Structure formats: structure tokens, C-alpha cells
Chain A
């Protein structure tokens, strides 16, 4: 990356790192997939599964096909919500969504890598890219709580 490259508010280095080396990605069989989400306007897709033990998320795996923002966001989510109690994860999902909509600010010390995604909210057409995986996980948790 050279200094002359613009767009660094959107494509921060940490985002490009998660895009190029997404964490917790795994090819999933159809039986494993709990939720599949698609954004028909850009064709981005995500397939997610999660493992919950004693009310705590002990595993998040996903397969994503999409842009740098959606891929990086899914990767960051899989790290941020790992080992969190389901209730806390729910709150985190809600907070993240609200931040993307510009309804609240992210707190720098709590959010880790996620802070890099703050820039996305200035690009209204890209907000869905960032929130898709979070919605998908939310639906996964819905599904698991019903099945329980």
C-alpha cells in the first residue's frame, strides 16, 4: 500500500488483513450450515454455523463469498463473539448494527479490531456488507434457542 492510495478510512489495513486472511473460515457441509444469507444486490453470500455449550458460544465457523468489507466483518465477528455468553453476543450484535446505522458510537477500548469498521457507516451503500454476517449469526442464535 502506498501513501497516495486514498480510501484508507474505508479500507483500513486491519480490514484488508482480515479480508486477505479471514479467521475461522471453514468449508461447511449442507448439514452443518445453520443459516445462509444472501444480499441479492451484490450477490454476497454467507453460510454460518455456531456451537453453543452451557449458554456460551464455543465455536463460530462460516463460509463467505463477498467483498472486502463483508469478508472482513465476518472474520472480525467470528473473533469478537467467540467464547462469549449468548446473551452478551446478542447485545454485541445489536450494538454493532446500531453503530453501523450511525445510532451509537463504538467504544475504542472494548471493540478491538472492530473499530476499523467504523468508517463503513460513511458509505451508506456498504453498510449492508458489514452487517450481513452479524445478522446471519443472530439468526443462527435464534434458531438454536428455538431448537433447544
Chain B
């Protein structure tokens, strides 16, 4: 923590330095939705467009050469960031949602048959739920759900009983975007493998905040998004074990993913390009590489410990507010904290807080089944990142108290 200076970090993010409405500084606490970008990332994207905008893997001219090198450089950075073995395992996608859909359509259609079971949990984001519903309906497969307990953790006992020889895949989130819960994925992956099932981890909320080692986890697929970890929107990653990706049919057909094309048929190129049809989000990839460098520069260990301190600070302050209920009490948790405030609808609260300069989320957070489980249809959520400071939380708390007074019945 000695090298971690939140003030210095914060000054790297131009968007955070602004005053809203009546002189209220911006307290950005909606990082689980998307994160802000350091000027390094913004400049990298700008530099690409100003100095070497070109398509990749096609032309041989100067610009194309430079763009291709920069584009592939990010892949190497991702390999090292998540401790993978090879660039062949790293597929560029538009984001976590597309990564999961890729697996559902390509691996799923080939490997899931009638009567097979896919285990999900009740805390999944719609993006790790709906693709499997579509697949299961098409294949007459069965979706099984690990229940969420009152404290916001998964019922691991139930998980053990759900696993069977029918289980083909376990697709679970590493960290809940609503409850903040960090699931014990190492144990869950080992158990799934013993049952003969593959595991897909939704890392949208975890990869930006904790150090990930896909080799040690032995996870089969990992999906995550660049924009939730300081990178641009529209760029995400699907990590897959090389042999599994090799065995999968293509997802999208088109340019870049082919080897030889004839009118009636084609052969496909090698990994990872087999899954990257069409002109990709080149600027996004280059900006994402810069984001990874930034996080590596700070150190994911330092990011994690700083966020832990900040999360505990936020929880201790929120707990003191009467009528406020925190949803999710897992001990192993990240900095996404959901709550309800008695007598104030989440949309009224987030609208009110906005005018106090505080950006938080109100709604179902793309987790309708989970929110319903906690007897609600909408919640409020604050979510932290490395550039947040105690002052942001203090501003939130002060605004919350004013809102309670304003909407008091």
C-alpha cells in the first residue's frame, strides 16, 4: 500500500475533475456499470486515429504494420494479466456479453444435447443467464440454479448436489455485480471438473478488481470487459483453453476468420483469429492495452487492498443510517454495495443524489431474478474503484441523509 496514492491516481482521470450543478464535485460511484478512463487510455486511442489509423492483418503499408503490432501487443498484455499460456487462448470480443454468447453459440450448440444440464446461479447477470436460456430452449437442455442464501453467498451444499454426470457446464459469476459477493470459484471449478463438466467464469466484475490466474484456477472459459477496467467500451475478452477453442466451430463468419474461401465452402484460419470475423475494434483494443498497463503499474494487489479498505469504510458508514438495508453480507466481497432505503424508491434516490453530485445506480442492475429474490424490484448500488476516496463516500452519506429528509413521509 505504501506506493498507492489515491490522489495521484485520481488526477490521471480527467472526467473526475468536474463540478456539477450548484458547485457539487462529482462523486462517481457507478464503477460496476462502467469505469472512467485515465488520460493514458484516451491518448492512446487518439494517437491511433491521429498517427496510424489503419486496418489490421491485411495491408502491408506503414500504417497497417504499426496498427497490427499495437493490436497484437494488447493480446500479449492480456495473456500476462490473467496468467494464460498463449495468445491463441485470447479472443477479442465486444465485451463480456459477446464472450458468453460466443461460448453458448459455438461450444454450446456443438456440445449440449437434450437432457444435458447447465448449472448457473441465482446471482447471474442477465448476460450469463439469457444466452443459456436460449441454448437450453433450442436443445431441450435443463438449467439448474445454485440458490443464493440470505447473506448473499451461494448455497455450496446445493451446488454439490446439483453436480452430476448430466452436468456439461457450470457458468457462474466470479463476483456479483449486485451483492459484491466473491464466490469461492477455485473450489467450485475443482468440483465441476471432478463431475466432468466445464466451467465458464463471468469475470466482468472480478477481473478489474482482483488478481486472476486462469492457469491456477484451471478454468475453461473466462469472460470480461475492457470498459469495466479503465478501457474503452466495445472491447472484451474471451479466454478459453486452447484445446477447447480449437474444437469449437466458428461463431461469426466473414473476413479475417478464413483460410481459403470458395463459393460453396471455406476453411477457417487458426486461433485466435478464427473467432474474430470482420474489422475489429482496433482503437478499443489499443486503448485496452493501455488500461492493462495502467493497472499493472499500480499493481492489482494494491488495487485490491485499497478497495477492501474503502469498501469497509463505506459499509461502516452505511450501516449507521437508519432505514437503510444493505443487500448482501458476504465476508468475501468486492466494492459493489447494494441497498434499499425505507420509503424512498431507488429511482427517486438516485435522481436526488445526482443533484448532490453523487453518481450511483438505481434499478435492477440487470439481475431481475436476484433482485426479486430479495423481495424487491429495484435497488440502489454504489460501486468503487481505485480512484475513489473516502471523500466520495462522505459526499454520498451526506446526500443520503438529505434525501431521507426530503422524501420523509
Residue A20 at the chain B interface, CB threshold 8 Å:
yes
Residue in B351, B352, B356 whose CB lies within 8 Å of A126: B351
Interface string of B326-351 (1 = CB under 8 A from A): 00000000000000000001111001
Are A5 and B402 in touch, CB under 8 angstroms?
A: yes
Chain A neighbourhood of B362, CB < 8 A: 42
Q: Measured between C-beta atoms, what is the minimum distance from B346 to chain A in Å?
A: 7
Could you mark each residue 1-18 of chain A with 1 if its beta carbon is under 8 Å from any beta carbon of chain B, else 0?
100011100110000100
Residues from chain A with a CB closer than 8 A to the CB of B377 are 42-45, 65
Q: Report yes or no: B348 in contact with A69, Cβ–Cβ below 8 A.
A: yes
A59 near B: Cβ within 8 Å? no
Interface bin, chain B: 20 to 34
A29 at the interface (CB under 8 A from B): no
Chain A 66-88 near chain B by CB (<8 Å), digits 1 or 0: 11110000000000000000000
* A42 lies within 8 A of B355 (CB): no
Question: Which size bracket describes the interface of A in this complex?
Answer: 20 to 34
Which residues of A are found within 8 Å of B376, using beta-carbon distances?
Answer: 43
* A9 vs B368: C-alpha distance when bound (angstroms): 31
Contact in complex: B348, A67 (CB < 8 Å): yes
Closest to B345 in A: A67
Majority secondary structure of chain B interface residues (helix, strand, loop or mixed): mixed
Q: Does A129 contact B (CB under 8 A)?
A: yes
B62 at interface, CB cutoff 8 A: no
- B407 close to A129 (CB less than 8 A): no
A41 contacts the other chain (CB 8 A): yes
- Bound-state CA distance A67–B356 (Å) is 19
Contacting residues, chain A, for B363 (C-beta < 8 A):
41-42
Q: Name which residue of chain A comes closest to B346, CB basis.
A: A42
CA distance A1 to B409 in the complex (A): 12
B20 to chain A, nearest CB (A): 10
Known: A6-B21, A41-B363, A66-B345. 11 other contacts (CB 8 A): A5-B406, A11-B348, A16-B407, A40-B368, A42-B363, A42-B377, A44-B345, A45-B377, A67-B345, A67-B346, A69-B347
Q: B residues touching A (Cβ–Cβ < 8 Å)?
A: 21-22, 345-348, 351-352, 355-356, 362-364, 368, 371, 376-378, 402, 406-407, 409
